[in-house]
Structure formats: C-alpha cells, structure tokens
A and B are shown apart, each in its own frame.
Chain A
Amino acid sequence: MTKTLSKDEALFQFLLRLGDNTLVLGHRVSEWCGHSPVLEEDIALANTALDMIGQTQFWLGLAGEVEGKGKTADNLAFLRDVWDFRNLLLVEQPNGDFGQTMMRQFLFDAWHSIMLGRLLKSSDQRVADIAEKASKEVAYHLERSADTVVGLGDGTEESHAKMQAALDLLWPYVGEMFVGDEVDAEMVKADIAPDPASLRDEYDALVGRILADATLTVPDSKFAHKGGKTGTRHSEHLGHILTQMQWLQRAYPGATW
C-alpha cells in the first residue's frame, strides 16, 4: 500500500516526529523528578525535561497549524492514541537506572543536535526558527549527557559495567534514526529537512569519540528495531506512558487550569 503524500501531509508527519520525540522523552525524563541519585542531577533532569516539553509545544503547535484542522499542541499531545505517535522507539524505552537514562539521553542528544543543526537551513522558515531556538538548549543537553557518559563509563568497575550494559541494550534502537521513508523523501524534495541517512557519518563520529573516551565498546551489530517513527510498531512501553500522561484529558475532556 503506497499513497502519495502531499507536501503538507508529509510536513505534518515530519513535525509529529520531531514533537513526539521531545514529548515522549520529556515525559520519560520527568519521571525522575524527586527520584535522582543527587539533588543536582534531579534538577538537571527536570530542566532538560522542561526544555523538551517546551520544544514540543513549538513542534506540535506548528504541526496543528500545518494540518489545518484547528488542533492545538495540547490536542495532539493528549488526544492521540499509540498508533498515531511518531516518536523513535529509543525515547519510549524505560528509564532503567540513572546510567541507562543518561545513555539514552546521550544517544538521542547526539542525533538531535545534528538534526537541528541541519534544520537551521530548512526552506521552511517556521521550522528553521524552532530549530534555532531548540539547538541552543540541546547544546547544553549534549554537553551534560556526554560528560556523564564519560564520567560513568570511565568510572568505577561497577559504573563501567552498567554503562556498557546500557549501551548494549539501547544500541539496537539507534538505527531507526537514519531510516528514511516517503515522508523524508518529500521533506528532502521540498528542501525542508535532510535525508536521515545523511546524518549517520557525523553521528557515528561524534558518538564514537565520546564512547571511546568513556572506555565503552560500540556493539558490532547494526540490527535496528523499527516502527516508532512510522507508528506501525511501537513497543509496549508507549501505551503505559500515554495512560499516565493523558488520563486527565481523557477523564475530564477539555479540562483547563
């Protein structure tokens, strides 16, 4: 089954992907609030989550505008079901321990910073403006997650073992970032966004350098779980996130502060 997407239909999907990544990861990271190993990390995680939720408001706000059906960012965040979400599988994975959370953050931040850097040159000014804003924040996210991965990877025997286990667990979710489809092809054609595959070399170089500093070994396998960004095969975890995130709007439709 293939149907031809119009430019705006493809742009809508593309914006959902960006917004759902930051929404789902922002929600995941916010689960740490009040539970982190030390106060400083608790605050840092909460601030990172806040940045991502803020970016979500921009991406999903624009998605609603492009779709043209009068939906707000809140409508899109709280009233869609699992199969309508377009986030990468990586960001819906459980937090695990602190090291696993920071490894997930680093693997995402590295891709996010490269992607936003490319979007600065988007032919769609609205996309470029949001990327300009978000990329400044993500530079801080990446600096912190990379430092933490190095600190824990090149740390004690126990922290090293935990970080290697986190990398082995999460690495199969990295490949999905670079798989393109008809939405991406349409974005490339319109000069709105880059071909996802074109980010891979820069990503591998950046991630390889940090993981080497962290004395961690990148797994050999290039096997990639797929189905998040297309929405066809989310992991079982997303439904649980949405249950928690959406219950209020589902139980009391239209409730406001």
Chain B
Amino acid sequence: MSKPSLKQVWEWLDAVPDPEIPVISLVDLGIIRDVDWQEDTLCVTVTPTYSGCPATSIINLDIETALRDHGVEKLELKRQLSPAWTTDWLTDKGREKLEKYGIAPPQPAGGPKRCPRCGGTDLEKISQFGSTPCKAHWRCRACAEPFDYFKCI
C-alpha cells in the first residue's frame, strides 16, 4: 500500500474511542502527541493520562488494532512522559461531548462550572477521586444528582 497521509492517520485515530469514556476519541483526550513516518514505519507518540491508568495498555492495543485494520503494517508506539499530560489538551469537541455524556469538563477554577444534567450552579464536592483517577465526584444541590467531574491536571 502507499503511505497514508498524516492527516488521514490523525482522522483514523480520531475515530478510536477512549476505552473508559467512549464518547470521546483518543485525539480528543489529547494523548496522541505526535504521528510521523520514519521511512516506512509509522511512529505514534502517546503520553499516559495518569501513571497508573489501567486503560493505558488497552489504549495502545486499540491504536495498534485500528491502524492495522487500515492497512498500516510497520508501526511503532512510543511513550512520552514529558511534557506531562494536561487536561488543557482536551479538544473543544471533546469537552462538549463529555458534558453531553454527563461528565463536567475540566475548568481552570478547579471545579465544575455547572451540573452536566440540569445546568445548576449550586455544587458541592463529594470526593477528590471519582470512578477513575481522572475524575472527581461532585453533586448538584439543585437536582440532587451526583456527577463526575473531569479533574484539571
């Protein structure tokens, strides 16, 4: 096969869902740091979200599976720790999808802006840690529903 363009590869990767939060893609999550052809090998540089995130190995497997399905034969996955992943790298499209899914997107202020269910702003933190390391647990006092907040890191 001829080498697919890098733009094409990014589009393919943007179709690979995050295994924990399947409404957003790996590209939305901001963990794909670089895609490059080194001669006839496609190098994809990935940074972990959290050191102990159990999804890391699944993510690598999903990237590999997706690219192989598109006919990429020679593939190298590189791990990059620095600069460390930050929620600033979440795409705007990803933030919107998170909120629609019921997870409040990260805010510079360090807490959710509004309840992802009812839009209420009278909120309280229940726990610094939610269902995964990347989320905290909050509650809306208006609708009384608990919700996940994607922590700023």
Contact = CB atoms under 8 A, between A and B. Distances in A.
Interface residues of A, number: 28
Interface string A17-41: 0000000000000000000000011
A43 B146 CA distance: 15
B84 A55 contact: no
A144 B129 contact: yes
B82 interface: yes
B131 interface: yes
A230 interface: no
A44 B52 contact: no
B54 A40 contact: no
Interface in A25-68: 40-41, 43-44, 47-55, 57-58
Given A43-B129, A44-B127, A44-B128, A52 B84 contact: no
Given A51-B50, A54-B50, A54-B53, A140 B128 contact: yes
Contact of A129 (B54, B81, B130, B131): B81
B128 A53 contact: no
Interface of A: 40-41, 43-44, 47-55, 57-58, 125, 128-130, 132-134, 136-137, 140, 143-144, 147
B133 A144 contact: no
Nearest to B56: A54
A57 B50 CA distance: 12
7 contacts: A40-B126, A49-B52, A51-B52, A53-B52, A58-B51, A128-B82, A130-B81
Contact of B52 (A52, A128, A136, A140): A52
A245 to B, nearest CB: 16
A15 to B, nearest CB: 15
The A interface, classified by DSSP as helix, strand, loop or mixed, is: helix
List the 3 closest pairs (A to B, CB-CB), nearest first.
Answer: A54-B52, A54-B51, A50-B52
B41 interface: no
Nearest to A49: B52
A47 B137 contact: no
A147 B127 CA distance: 11
Contacts of B129: 40, 43-44, 47-48, 140, 144
The B interface, classified by DSSP as helix, strand, loop or mixed, is: loop
A149 to B, nearest CB: 14
Contact of A40 (B48, B81, B127): B127
A211 B135 CA distance: 28
B130 to A, nearest CB: 7
Contacts of B132: 47
Given A54-B53, A57-B52, A140-B129, 8 more contacts: A40-B129, A47-B133, A49-B52, A54-B48, A58-B51, A129-B81, A130-B81, A140-B128
Nearest to A120: B82
Interface string B20-32: 0000000000000
B101 to A, nearest CB: 19
Contacts of B153: 136-137, 140
B128 A58 contact: no
A143 B152 CA distance: 14
Contact of B133 (A41, A50, A58, A130): A50
A53 B53 CA distance: 10
B139 to A, nearest CB: 11
Contacts of B81: 58, 129-130, 132-133
Nearest to A136: B153
Interface in B31-81: 48, 50-54, 81
A175 B134 CA distance: 33
B50 A143 contact: no
